[in-house]
Amino acid sequence: MRFINHAAARCAAAGALFLALPGCFQDGGLNVDPNRSTSADAAQLFSGAALKFSLLRVGELTWPVALSTQQWASGARWGLAQAQYDQTRVRSAWGSIYTDVLKNLVIATREAEALTPKPNNSIAQLKIYSAFVYSQTTYLWGDIPFSEAATGLVDKPKFDSQQDVLNGTLKLIDEALAVIDGTSRAIGAPNDLYYGGDMAKWRRFANSLKFRILMTMVDADPTKAAAITALQGQPVIGARADELKVIYTNQAGRQNPRFSFTQIFRGGVQQDWYASNVMFGELLPTNDPRLAIFYQPGPSATSGQYVALNSVEPFTPTSSLVNLNLLKADLPEMSFSLSEQYLLEAEAFARGFWTGGLSAADARYRAGVREGMTVLGVTAGQTDVFLAGLPTLTPTNFRRELNRQQYLDLFMRPLEAWVQWRRSGDRGSEYPTLQVPQGALVGGLVRRLLYRSEEITANPKTPSPVPQQDVPMWFDK
């Protein structure tokens, strides 16, 4: 256990979520057979798929990943088993992704491609979003069905290697970018939850997504460096309006699932997710003002007292909790932020993939930290003081300093933080340093989700032996 006294400046399960979304699943026969649906309106299918994936990211996939990767501590309460790598609570996510998300995207793409004239922009949106979902899915499970997946034509699809899946997502993105035009029909509001049919924003997101995937691949496949270099100067996420995010609101049925969970099951009192020693170890050395935004003092703590726990340590009344302000009803579900883009660019400059050297890397690094802090509500004065105390990036420190800020920037986005941690250094030297929790189900650190038992039983093409939670993935070198 770890504590400080700090003068603080700032203090899915909800089944009705977003059911009022216009245009979603109005055809009562749409999903009669979840494996054999053959047609429907592409725009409605897209909105349904995007909403479902957002709900999974912000709800069911959040708790086990945040707890097992030690972004949050369990307090030895509701999340203890998940902190010890039990994945029972996430077992349905696999089926939801393939049945409710990818299947609908495949059908929507097929329907759009059959139209005359072809709605090229709609096809581009669907392919870009499919690439996003597949990349996220392989980061969670490793080898997954891809080339034969979700078509309704193959009952037992093969599992493609992670390298092939990621290369396939790059191909989908390139195909999409090649057909975006200024005249064809796009999927617009309300069915495009992200950009309302603005294809300039879809182009920027596609390039940013390609950039992120390549940065994940390059340590396992150094030939990807050339593709990273080719992205310099291309339109990418460059403003908050370009971010990939779903907007939730403070209206019943349209609230962020994390808020709904706390309201429905805990009466609005945060009592499940605690401050982690791992995160404290990154915040304390630099007197980071985000500490008082990330966490709230325990119910019996004194003013400004923050107490962190290891991932399975029992809570006490003074233990700090993840701040209820980060579980707000209208908190967006962020899938790609401007600050993340800036920090990835800083890494590209520092590693020599982009021209500009360490001076350009340092400027982008500081811009990324400033953007992330501003969005959180850190004052300009606090941010200026913090940035003045950060070291200038050098050949010997840039990996560590960038890794720290990339990891902190992804707080409350555990899926991206887990990818960042796994790619942050050679296996066993990742940043930050994690320890296998007491009572863990395997002997090593968690590096993947388990395939659900139904898939293993029903599909003989599931990898054998089935990789356990501590088996590294292809990109995790």
Task: Tell me the pLDDT tens digit for each residue of 408-454.
Answer: 999 999 999 999 999 999 998 999 999 999 999 999 999 999 999 99
Report phi then psi at 307, rounded to 5. -130, 120
The two beta strands, 295-296 and 321-322, are antiparallel
Burial class (CB in 10 A: 0-12, 13-18, 19+), 13: exposed
What does pLDDT average to over the chain?
Answer: 91
| N-terminal to C-terminal alpha carbon distance within the chain | 31
**Mean pLDDT, residues 55-72:** 94
What is the reported pLDDT for 259? Answer: 93
What is the reported pLDDT for 24? Answer: 31
Rounded Cα–Cα distance for residues 18 and 255 (Å): 7
Residue 20 has pLDDT above 50, yes or no: no
Residue 35 has pLDDT above 70, yes or no: no
Residue 12 has pLDDT above 60, yes or no: no
Per the model's pLDDT, the better-predicted residue between 72 and 89 turns out to be 72
Residue 33 has pLDDT above 80, yes or no: no
Q: Which pLDDT band, with edges at 50, 70 and 90, does 3 fall under?
A: very low
The two beta strands, 333-336 and 244-246, are antiparallel
DSSP single-letter state for residue 424? S
**Mean pLDDT, residues 275-297:** 95
Q: Which pLDDT band, with edges at 50, 70 and 90, does 17 fall under?
A: very low
Rounded Cα–Cα distance for residues 202 and 195 (Å): 7
What is the reported pLDDT for 34? Answer: 37
DSSP single-letter state for residue 292? H
What is the reported pLDDT for 10? Answer: 29
Residue 27 has pLDDT above 90, yes or no: no
Report phi then psi at 175, rounded to 5. -60, -40
**Helix (H) / strand (E) containing 94:** helix 91-96
Of the candidate ranges 14-23, 137-146, 202-211, 381-390, the one whose mean pLDDT is the lowest: 14-23
Rounded Cα–Cα distance for residues 89 and 301 (Å): 31
Residue 29 has pLDDT above 90, yes or no: no
Rounded Cα–Cα distance for residues 292 and 389 (Å): 18
Residue 38 has pLDDT above 50, yes or no: no
Q: 464: which residues sit within 8 A by CB, 6+ positions away?
A: none
Q: Which pLDDT band, with edges at 50, 70 and 90, does 1 fall under?
A: low
Hey, what are 355's tokens?
């021209």
What is the reported pLDDT for 40? Answer: 65
**Mean pLDDT, residues 158-180:** 98
Residue 129 contacts residue 46 (beta carbons within 8 Å)? yes
Rounded Cα–Cα distance for residues 393 and 145 (Å): 41
Compute the Cα dihedral for 213, 362, 401, 308 and give only its sign: negative
Rounded Cα–Cα distance for residues 149 and 5 (Å): 52
Beta strands in 209-298 (DSSP E): 244-246, 274-275, 295-296
At residue 342, what is the residue type?
Y
**Mean pLDDT, residues 180-206:** 97
Residue 23 has pLDDT above 90, yes or no: no
Q: What is the DSSP string of 96-121?
A: HIIIIIIHHHHHHHHHHHTSSS--HH
Hey, what are 261's tokens?
């969970």
Q: Angle at the Cα of 59 (from 445 to 15), degrees rounded to 5?
A: 145
Beta bridge partners of 98: none
Q: Which pLDDT band, with edges at 50, 70 and 90, does 327 fall under?
A: very high
Residue 16 has pLDDT above 80, yes or no: no
Residue 209 has pLDDT above 70, yes or no: yes
Residue 257 has pLDDT above 60, yes or no: yes
Rounded Cα–Cα distance for residues 317 and 304 (Å): 14
Neighbouring C-beta atoms of residue 324, cutoff 10 Å: 14
**Mean pLDDT, residues 179-183:** 96
